[in-house]
Structure 1
Amino acid sequence: MGPSLIAPVAVSAMLVIRTALMEIRHPGSARRQWAFLTNRQAVTTGATVVVLLSAVGWRTAGFVSAAWALLAGALVAHLVNLSTGSDTQGRTDRGDMRR
């Protein structure tokens, strides 16, 4: 694994570990953090970013650009989901309603 591939893999691993730790502390938080995967507009925008960055970066960095593009696409999709106000925001779990 080349040195330029270690950085996006490490960042991805840190995001997954952060999600797992938050889920342990606050059950249900992982579902809210990864809700962008169910938002069609967010996924489409993220996929567009992945394709464009991969196409541009392939000439300079080769397959390593795909790892960076996937990371950037996931972060863009998450930001789009936050800005559009996903349908999971404002919803309460049944367990929260009983408290």
Structure 2
Amino acid sequence: MPSRTILPRFKRLYVCLAACKASFRVCRPIVGLDGCFLKGYYGSQLLTAIGRDPNDQMLPIAYAIVEVENKDSWSWFLTNLTNDIGMCDITYISDQQKV
């Protein structure tokens, strides 16, 4: 019986572009968070962090593709986001109302 090889598997991807990170430093310290399904062969979830610039336009700060939207993936995303933007006095807004 041939042995099965375990192939590498994609788990998570986090992206925070340097220009967006620098632009957020002049924005209001409010970050909107949201997640949505990616309807494709592999499924996954897209998590986003959006700010508002001084012209009141939306500024994408960071996004991530994760295997599933749960507490672990949100904690991972927010840890990376906080490390990237380096600000501690931020208000996060989300539409999640789970207990």
> What TM-score do the two structures reach when normalised by structure 2?
0.27
Give the structure with the larger strand fraction: 2
> What TM-score do the two structures reach when normalised by structure 1?
0.27
Give the structure with the larger helix fraction: 1
